[in-house]
Structure 1
Amino acid sequence: MQQAVEKALDNVRPALAADGFDLRLGSIEADNSVRVVLEAKPEACMECLVPDAVLVAILDKAIRDQDPSVGQVTVDKVGFDAVAGH
């Protein structure tokens, strides 16, 4: 499952990286739920980021296309407070 999730994230990562965000696998839990970490780099364009629900839907589809057995997909955001202060 981890390889499938990593492949899915590799497919989505370039679009987010173009706007200053990094995307990585946080964890895969025993119930097959997946936690993804979205990090805002100092140069991140906060106005460029899609709403949370849209981002989760995009990630959910990308991950399930690679592995349909995945449970819930959640996104943890890091670095957003520092970027928002600029």
Structure 2
Amino acid sequence: MNTIEKEKTMGLIEQALDSVRPYLIADGGNVKLAELTDDFIVRLELTGSCQTCPMNAMTFRAGLEEAVRKAVPQVQKVEAVNVPALA
């Protein structure tokens, strides 16, 4: 993936995350795009209350991962870098 393609893809991922962020922020959490690898693995960092929330697995899979995959279908995997159970 070249630099322009990577920047465009990261922009699409950020837009997807922006669609979910208001719900995370309302509960004291947030998410950051930590990395997009050349083989389309997306690594996200959960912040604030999202790190320890008992519902973070459901939020991650049904909210964040779904939004990212919908925006960028070529994504192979979505991982959480700071929540071992979700990696």
Taking structure 1 as the reference length, the TM-score comes to: 0.73
Off by >4 Å, runs of 4+ in structure 1: none
| Higher RCO (Cα < 8 Å, 6 or more apart) | 1
Match of 2:75 among 58, 67, 70: 70
Greater share of residues in helix: 2
Larger radius of gyration: 1
**Consecutive unaligned residues in structure 2, runs of 5 or more:** 1-8
Gaps of 5+ in 1: 79-86
Aligned CA-pair RMSD: 2.0
Structure 1: which amino acid aligns with 2:80? V
> Size of the alignment, in residue pairs?
73
**TM-score using structure 2 length:** 0.72
- What percent of counterpart residues are identical? 33
| Map 1:1-80 → 2, pairs under 5 A | 1-40=9-48, 44=49, 50-52=55-57, 54-57=58-61, 58-77=63-82
